[in-house]
Chain A
Amino acid sequence: MRIETGATHGWALRLGLRGGYIGCLNKGTQSPVQRRFGWGSCYSPVKTCCRGWCSFQTSNPVLLVLLSLVQASRSFHQSSQSLAPVPPLPEKGGKVRHGIFPEELFTLLYPKTGVTGPYMLGTGLLLYMLSKEIYVINHETFAAASIGAVVIYGIKKFGPSVAAFADKINEDKVAKAQEVKDQAMASLAQGIEDEKKEQWRVEGRHMLFDAKRNNVAMLLETNYRERLHMVTNEVKKRLDFQVELQNLHRRMEQEHMVNWVEQSVIKSITPQQEKESIAKCIADLKVLAKTTQARATV
């Protein structure tokens, strides 16, 4: 049988009762996921769905009766639940003197009996009880003294460390939450810094564009000049070819002309002229030979 219930006992119900989510008295504080899917049946410790409330399912009739009583007594609740933030607990417990006697006793007696007042009262009470044998000293007194010594020794020796341990547990809790908060803040501040840097970068962007523009212009210019150069070379080559062609023509013409002249001259030479010229050449050669001989012997 499913029952909606809630209880504010922490440890009693938070440990280990088989937890199936049933329902919560404070439906308003549930999350949409919880409301829709529930928690199924699970063996893990009971979940709290809202502050201080637990829920579980059972089939034990006695338990059902008791739980229904919780619901029935709701009519006695006069004011609404105060879900407002509760005031903080005091940091330390009440001040005590000698471990047991509250400081208020001393403050109470101070105006009338001064500093030693409470001590006198204590001694007087003790002696009264001893002398009137209201408290009889017997073996239990020594047992009390013994256990008292153990307790006092234990508290004096381990008290501060236990307190420090408890404080450390709480401080670790707070430190963890604080770390989360600090990390969030740090990441946000970092985000701001990064944004500012980006903005600064944007300002310098035009310089980048100018440089790029210059680069591109230079590339275009270079390319244009190269092509111009190439065109010039090609044109020059064509023109040189034509020049060479003309030269060749002239040369060939000249050679041909020379050949023709030579041919005609050779043809024009008659055999009579040829003989005459040969005889003259021989006579010249003889003269020359004589002169050379004469020069050689001298």
Chain B
Amino acid sequence: MMTSFFDQFASPSYLGIPLIAIAIALPWVLYPTPSSRWINNRLITIQGWFINRFTNQLLLPLNVGGHKWALLLASLMIFLITINMLGLLPYTFTPTTQLSLNMGFAVPLWLATVIIGMRNQPTVALGHLLPEGTPIPLIPVLIIIETISLLIRPLALGVRLTANLTAGHLLIQLIATAVFVLLPMMPTVAILTATVLFLLTLLEVAVAMIQAYVFVLLLSLYLQENV
């Protein structure tokens, strides 16, 4: 069979055991439980500081009702950022390149925010469909546009994450292949390409972190509107 660049995105299984389960469980393994000690070691101190800081920052614009989501959003962020970063290692499989996983995160959470909004404050939630200060002739069109924009949100969330990571991984593979192929033929060009690969890797590290953050941030934004 012909190997293609998309084989890295095939969900791995071994003897019928889906290994994606292990891949998804891996982030949980990597973060030690904070002990009930007053002074911890460096790892737990930094882990605790980061999670505290992040959650505080994320929950700043939310009112008290939204604070119920703190655990969910914080753990989602840690999960996504770990999976994304681990995916940059060679010979790894990144679960977040699978659209199914990302949609599995995006749709229920988005739908939850919408239902919470509709249930608790239906007028305010529906009022978001019409921004303030629109000229009167534009109102019907704008409502339709805003509704479409609302319904597209889960799709956007999921596809954004999938596309960014998939594209990044693909690019890395492509440019690495270019380096590999060019090395015996034109070493200087290969070195240039290797530089490009290095820069791309830096970019991918940044993208991995930013995309996870954006996912969670947008969810918190949607929550902010509705809670």
Are A15 and B55 in contact, CB atoms less than 8 angstroms apart? yes
Give the nearest-CB partner of B32 in chain A: A10
A292 sits at the interface (CB 8 A): no
How distant is A13 from chain B, measured CB to nearest CB, in Å? Answer: 8
A174 sits at the interface (CB 8 A): yes
How distant is A102 from chain B, measured CB to nearest CB, in Å? Answer: 17
How many residues of chain A get a CB closer than 8 Å to chain B's CBs? 39
The 8 A CB mask of B57-94 against A (1 = contact, 0 = none) is: 00000001101111100110000000000001111000
How distant is A42 from chain B, measured CB to nearest CB, in Å? Answer: 10
Are A170 and B36 in contact, CB atoms less than 8 angstroms apart? no
How distant is B6 from chain A, measured CB to nearest CB, in Å? Answer: 14
Are B64 and A43 in contact, CB atoms less than 8 angstroms apart? yes
Residues of B within 8 A of A9 (CB): 33
Are A16 and B67 in contact, CB atoms less than 8 angstroms apart? yes
Q: Which of A122-130, A142-150, A282-290 lies at the interface?
A: A142-150
Residues of A within 8 A of B65 (CB): 43
- In the assembly, what is the distance between CA of A141 and CA of B91, in Å? 9
Are B37 and A86 in contact, CB atoms less than 8 angstroms apart? yes
Given A10-B33, A15-B74, A146-B198, also A139-B180 (CB < 8 A)? yes
Given A139-B179, A166-B42, also A12-B75 (CB < 8 A)? yes
How distant is B196 from chain A, measured CB to nearest CB, in Å? Answer: 10
A18 sits at the interface (CB 8 A): yes
Chain A interface secondary structure, helix, strand, loop or mixed?
A: helix
CB proximity to A under 8 Å, residues B38-66: 38-43, 45-46, 48-49, 51, 55, 64-65
Are B41 and A89 in contact, CB atoms less than 8 angstroms apart? yes
Residues of A within 8 A of B70 (CB): 15-16, 45
A36 sits at the interface (CB 8 A): no
The 8 A CB mask of B15-42 against A (1 = contact, 0 = none) is: 0000000000000000001111111111
How distant is B206 from chain A, measured CB to nearest CB, in Å? Answer: 11
The 8 A CB mask of B172-205 against A (1 = contact, 0 = none) is: 1100110110000000000000100110111001
CB proximity to B under 8 Å, residues A86-137: 86, 89, 93, 137
Q: List 27 A-B contacts (CB under 8 A).
A: A9-B33, A10-B33, A11-B34, A11-B48, A11-B51, A11-B74, A12-B71, A15-B70, A15-B71, A15-B75, A16-B67, A16-B74, A51-B36, A89-B37, A139-B179, A140-B173, A141-B90, A142-B176, A142-B180, A142-B194, A143-B176, A143-B197, A147-B89, A147-B90, A150-B205, A166-B42, A166-B46
Which residues in A have some Cβ–Cβ distance to B below 8 Å? 8-13, 15-18, 43-45, 51-52, 86, 89, 93, 137-144, 146-147, 149-150, 162-163, 165-167, 169-170, 173-174
Q: A10-B34, A15-B75, A143-B197 are in contact. List 16 more A-B contacts (CB 8 A).
A: A8-B36, A10-B33, A11-B48, A11-B75, A16-B67, A16-B68, A139-B179, A140-B173, A140-B176, A142-B180, A142-B194, A147-B89, A150-B198, A166-B45, A167-B42, A170-B40
